[in-house]
A and B are shown apart, each in its own frame.
Chain A
Amino acid sequence: MVILMGNIQEENKNIEHSMKEVAYNLLKNKEVDLIIGYAKGTIPLSSSPSFIINQKDVDNLIWDNLCHVNLARYVVPPITKIIDNENIPLKVGIVSKGCVGRSLIHLAKENQVNLENIKIIGISCNGIINRKRIEKELGEKEIIELSVMNSEIIAKGVDFVKTFFFDDYLNESCKKCKIKAPPMVSSQSNVIVGGSVESSSGEDDFSDLTEHESKTPEEKWQTIVELLSPCTRCYACREACPMCYCNLCFVDQNKPIWFGKTTDMSDIVSFHLVRAMHVAGRCVACGSCSSACPMGIDLTFITRKLEKIVKQRFDFTSGLSFDILPPMMTQKMNDKEDFMIGEH
């Protein structure tokens, strides 16, 4: 739960207010059967995805800087209701920050969601707090209350008060995020209610990656090992990811068992490597994987690289448009070949 004061607070209040209004009307006018949004969490630094079908419950919806879950995750596979033995898909309104909107658009491109049954309740997100980082930095002190005032995050405990600079303690992917609200997609404009932005990815220098990229392979490997060693192979990252909708994940497959499920380092690395491969050109940088990880592994470190690769190689940013094919779905004669070996 976040108590907000000052500018960001104002912002969120307005967002929350208009979002509730939209949600209320959608339900009232029977435009949707169901609203998926965020509700207040039972403990500090949390929020809880909430499913609402009654107008009166709309008031439980909240918006703050801890609403980290990517709600698109809940509509794959589509939510349905059996009406006389017919599986009828429900019309769903989804409270969508930029990345959620992008997920939905991309998932539609991959035939996973049918936008006819979706209303994107667009809201302009001002960043998700990196709770894992704050928890870690507080060490073993329990936070009882977290609030955001002006440009600071204030964490209160039984016997302490600590403040963090808001912009520094956002998820890495949020820091660089240029698409705060769902991108406006002309062909599907009717889908978006509430806020939206012109679908443009904006400029990104990926400066946060340069340090790692300048390292030697040995150092890079060390960093990665350090990053991933806590991994318990619980696959929370996968389950939280809207793009990981495979019926059977590669790591669960047998005949042949390509990659081990053990916590042996090369197994862990291979899992995250292949998973990265699989979300390349699809990842919308929502950071769900990171915030879901019980061990607090910051996977946005990897997803940021994915963003960079597809942006720089194929000038693609996922979830912005229906008309552009994702990079892995198409090919060009004149793609860059700088990575290939030649005689000279």
Chain B
Amino acid sequence: MKKVGSVLVVGAGIGGSQASLDLGDAGYKVYLVESTTSIGGVMAQLDKTFPTNDCAMCIVSPKLVETGRHQNVDLFINVEILDVKGEAGNFTVKILKKTLHVNVDKCTGCGICGRECPVEAIDIFNEGLARHSATSVKYPQAVPLVYAINRDYCIGCGICLGVCKAKAVEYGMEDEIMEINVGAIILAPGFDEYIPPEGNKYGYGKFKNVVTSIEFERILSASGPYSGKILRPSDGDVPEKVAFLQCIGSRDYRDGQPYCSSVCCMYTTKEAIIAKEHMNLLNPTIFSMDIRAYGKDFDKYIHRAQEEYGVRYIRSRISHLEEDPKTQDLIVTYEDETGIIAKEMYNLAVLSVGLNPPNDAVYLSEKFGVDLNEFNFVRTDIFNPVQTSRAGIFACGAFTSPKDIPETVTQASAAAGCVNQLLHDQRGTLITEKSLPPEIFVAGQPPRIGAFICHCGINIGGYVDVPEVTRYAGTLPNVVLADRNLYTCSADTQTIIKEKIKEYNLNRVIVASCTPRTHEPLFQETIREAGLNRYLFQMANIRDQCSWVHMHEPEEATRKAKDLIRMAVNSAREIQPLERIRLSVTPKVLVIGGGISGMVAARNLAFQEFETYLIEKGSVLGGHARNIYTTLEGGNVQEYLSNLINEINSNKLIHVYTQAKIENIEGYIGNFKTSIIHGEKKEKVKFKHGVVIVATGADEYEPTEFLYGKDDRIIKQSEFEKLINTTDDIRKKKSVVMIQCVGSRNTEHPYCSRMCCAEAIKNAIKTKELNPETEVIILYRDIRTYGFKELYYRKAREAGIFFIRFDETKPPEVRVEKDNLKIIVENPKIGKISIDSDMIVLSVGIVANGVENEEMGKMLKVPLNEDNFYLEAHVKLRPVEFATEGIFLAGLSHCPKSIEDSISQANAAVSRACTILSKDEIEAEGKVACIDITRCSGCGMCVENCAYNAIELILDRRFGLVASINQVLCKGCGACSGNCRCSAIDILGFTGEQIYEMITGRVE
């Protein structure tokens, strides 16, 4: 059966969107289907994100807008999957497009229908804490911004039909079925939060002031039901004492789910911090069993919560909640880790609910024919967490297991990476480059400006005197046409604009309507189709920032609209056509590091016929994985590794260099030049490549504590693993004691090494299997078996392995006595105990190779974090790439992680790389910095201010040392220009002259 170059992505949360963008950019046709009426998923509901407290909406909405208008991505909302046929490379999917009763193409999202609708419906986006009308959009920044009528509530009064000037409301509109043909499928349905059932012991549903964490998230949000004020639902009072109860529906065998939901500890901490930030008098308390801050910089975040924000953590188990009927305060009864039962009173209780599989998981598995695991999450390959049980169908995000945003984004790209591997030969076959007329030459001609002013139904027209404003616009210098339209964004107006451009031979166009953030691309496209350079356009925002915010002052609103239009016209007069610089791409890759991550990346790339240079500093491939025999889940690492190495060595397109050292890397995205020396004889090799993937890995911590090295019965976990997998010495051991967090979570290495808990439990269980007689004791601070790893924690306890917690401040003490080892440890509950043992195993952490990373970082101009791990471009949304374009990141050099995660990251890096490698040319954005070297004096301030390494100082024959801008790397932020004393740097599209004209073009 023939492969097809298109992909179906199911679910348009952050994961689905990321996958779609990756694939769209890589030249595949993408069908993105979403069951609700707009994209963004849970992330769009969040107020802030951990551990950076970034504003979720700020960082996600640009991505959503991009997804919504990507020319290779077809977005279908409010759909249902009916049927899936075919096999990897060629599926046929039948989709039901449920009617919105609103014509998507006509609706301008102006919202008048919603405002006029008489019936109230529950606002699901705000978790039912607020209400909106039956005709509604999911949230203000929704993409696509299309209203939908909820027929469950609609009384068919027809008001919306009447008020909709765009004639978009169509009651009679029917559902529609369509069939699409795709080569691969990515499932990204996300998760559904756990809702405590009737009669739960926390009184959720019974007590008004018990809310779930996701409800609380909305309460925190500035755009939420209480617009950012923290009030309790019962009486709208400010809750001074807030309790956060952890593991609600997680790690709970009775009424919840047995696995760990992975994210609760962190998002709760975040909510506590933000709550404190919003209202300082508030005291958050978090009741938890363990604190699972296993991710990058997570422990630091917990620390900040405690130190800076005074968040209180109580290790405990909650017995139950009662409500004080008078005050509606809540009494929390819990047992703390010393075994004492205590009661405390709180004004508000937040249940940190766990992540459940999506409610329609079973339905999806049946339709797509993919297996689920025992909890109805999708079952994935043991070494490739995005590969479902059915070839050609991949999954990502919380559907594979509970996870946070960066891991979801990584998996999304990873899935896209696997799709690339599957469909690479079909790349670009189904996307259509639309043909455009040649650009009209306008340089040097006097400006002929056309102004189109939008009524936006009554959204503008109702408050701003549009006819007057239009008349006024007509009087402005260089304006040869001032026209007004009911909806300037409507399809028919686009044709009108094109006609007018020809008729009046306009060479500048301004539109006064809504916000350029959503509509500029549309109009730019229109004028481009009319033959004008797309940058000869300027917008005046007279709706969102005028008519809608001055509804009670029509005259003032009108005056303001005039001002804004005058400013736009003044600026338009100075606009020059811009062209996007194009640069050829060398379709080759440099992969630095021959560990699992590096090799997986190289294999994937080579599979896609991209020549790849894999360089390894050591003499053999394999890296850190060479010390690991199995995964906790039972995967055979050594076997996987040797197969992988064989594939690498046998692949013609992969050039492997061992004992290699990079001498120099120069160039930039698409065009790097690298020289290395390798092998015994230090041979020199030079090659060109388009991208770099950094997978340099990390090292095992070399312990000095606990008498390591003084006694050969005290060994590292890796040594122990080797011992139990290669010898049967363990049979002779009566007792083994494992000490956790050696070289992790201390002042020297203030982060969690993430895998040690799993490794310890894995080897403990194995020990028990080999010799049930051996007593195994694990001394720990927190057991961080996140996700499904939690099950092995339970399994271990059932297998009779002892877990004894000690406090950071009171580490165990190890003594060597003549024939055996003694460990003294203090546990909060049982107090000081001493254990005799004949083997001590130290679970040592992962440490970055500071020196090497430093050196590499300098060479690539990429940053490190405080712990010397590489610092990605954006912690949440760009986890596998650097701010410097064309350089990607995978594996342990990013932060400690499991083998599966490393593999995901490697495939993700490949996917991101494919967005570049798949093109013969990359195109730079037009609105970038440009420099006048006659003015530049080479002081170098811009070089320092540029976050993208887009500027360097060069020696000009005539003007000496001057700055030179790489417009391909430039993002046009203007940080350089803002500081430039001699105004040598200007930002095209936002030039000093344009802004000058706007400033001086005010109304007296």
Contacts and interface: CB of A to CB of B under 8 A. Distances in A.
B939 A110 contact: yes
A247 B944 contact: no
A278 B981 contact: yes
B941 A256 contact: no
A5 interface: no
Nearest to A107: B939
Interface stretch (B289-297, B688-696, B779-787, B929-937): B929-937
A255 interface: yes
A248 B935 contact: yes
B993 A256 contact: yes
A278 B939 CA distance: 12
A245 interface: yes
Contacts of A110: 939-941
Q: Which of A246, A253, A330 is most buried by chain B, counting CB atoms within 10 A of its CB?
A: A246
A248 B982 contact: yes
Nearest to A252: B982
A61 B149 CA distance: 90
B979 interface: yes
Contacts of B945: 329
B935 A111 contact: no
Given A256-B993, A330-B944, A246 B961 contact: no
Contacts of B687: none
Interface in B978-1004: 979, 981-983, 992-993, 996-997
Interface string B933-971: 011111111001100000001000000110000000000
Contacts of A328: 941, 979
B996 A256 contact: yes
State the majority secondary structure of interface residues on A: loop
A64 to B, nearest CB: 33
A258 interface: yes
Interface in A298-344: 325, 328-330
A250 interface: yes
A110 B939 CA distance: 4
Nearest to B953: A111
Contacts of B940: 110-111, 329
A199 interface: no
Nearest to A278: B981
A287 B941 CA distance: 24
Given A111-B961, A258-B996, A330-B944, A246 B937 contact: yes
Given A256-B996, A330-B944, A247 B936 contact: yes
B346 to A, nearest CB: 26
A110 B983 CA distance: 16
A249 B937 CA distance: 11
Interface string A53-91: 000000000000000000000000100000000000000
A248 B937 CA distance: 9
Contact of A329 (B934, B941, B996): B941
A48 interface: no
A278 B944 CA distance: 16
Contact of B981 (A112, A250, A330): A250
Interface string A251-278: 0010110100000000000000000001
Nearest to A258: B996
Residue among A245, A248, A256, A330 with the most chain B CB within 10 A?
Answer: A256
B939 A111 contact: yes
A255 B934 CA distance: 15
B935 A246 contact: yes
A253 B996 CA distance: 13
Contacts of A255: 993
Given A110-B939, A328-B941, A247 B982 contact: yes
A245 B981 CA distance: 10
Nearest to B961: A111
A330 B937 CA distance: 19
A77 B979 CA distance: 22
B263 to A, nearest CB: 25
A253 B983 contact: yes
A130 B981 CA distance: 30
A328 B943 CA distance: 12
A112 B935 CA distance: 14
Contact of A247 (B937, B941, B979, B996): B937
A256 B939 CA distance: 23
Contact of A246 (B944, B960, B981, B997): B981
Contacts of B936: 247
A328 B960 CA distance: 23
A258 B840 CA distance: 74
A256 B992 CA distance: 7
Contacts of A245: 937
Nearest to A114: B961
A77 B960 CA distance: 10
Contacts of A256: 992-993, 996-997
Given A258-B996, A329-B944, A111 B938 contact: yes
Nearest to A253: B983
A112 B983 contact: no
Nearest to A255: B993
A77 B938 CA distance: 12
A316 B239 CA distance: 44
Nearest to A110: B939
A77 B961 CA distance: 11
A246 B939 CA distance: 9
A333 B953 CA distance: 26
Nearest to B993: A256
B106 to A, nearest CB: 40
Nearest to B991: A256
Contacts of B953: 111
A179 B935 CA distance: 33
A246 B997 CA distance: 25
Nearest to A279: B981
Nearest to B280: A344
B979 to A, nearest CB: 6
A248 B944 CA distance: 22
Contacts of B981: 246, 250, 278
A255 B938 CA distance: 22
Contacts of B935: 246-248
B280 to A, nearest CB: 10
Nearest to B981: A278
Contacts of B993: 255-256
Interface string B913-942: 000000000000000000000111111110
B597 to A, nearest CB: 30
A122 to B, nearest CB: 25
Contacts of B997: 256
A253 B980 CA distance: 13
Nearest to B942: A329
Contacts of A248: 934-935, 982
Nearest to B944: A329
Contacts of A111: 938-940, 953, 961
A112 B996 contact: no
Interface in A225-252: 245-250
Contacts of A278: 981
A246 B982 contact: yes
Contacts of B961: 111
Nearest to A76: B937
Contacts of A247: 934-937, 982
Contact of B982 (A77, A250, A325, A330): A250
Interface of B: 934-941, 944-945, 953, 960-961, 979, 981-983, 992-993, 996-997
Given A246-B982, A253-B983, A329-B944, 7 more contacts: A110-B941, A111-B938, A111-B940, A247-B982, A250-B981, A250-B982, A256-B997
30 contacts: A110-B939, A110-B940, A111-B938, A111-B939, A111-B940, A111-B961, A112-B937, A112-B938, A112-B939, A245-B937, A246-B937, A247-B934, A247-B936, A247-B937, A247-B982, A249-B982, A250-B982, A250-B983, A253-B983, A255-B993, A256-B993, A258-B992, A278-B981, A328-B941, A328-B979, A329-B940, A329-B941, A329-B944, A329-B945, A330-B944
Interface of A: 77, 110-112, 245-250, 253, 255-256, 258, 278, 325, 328-330
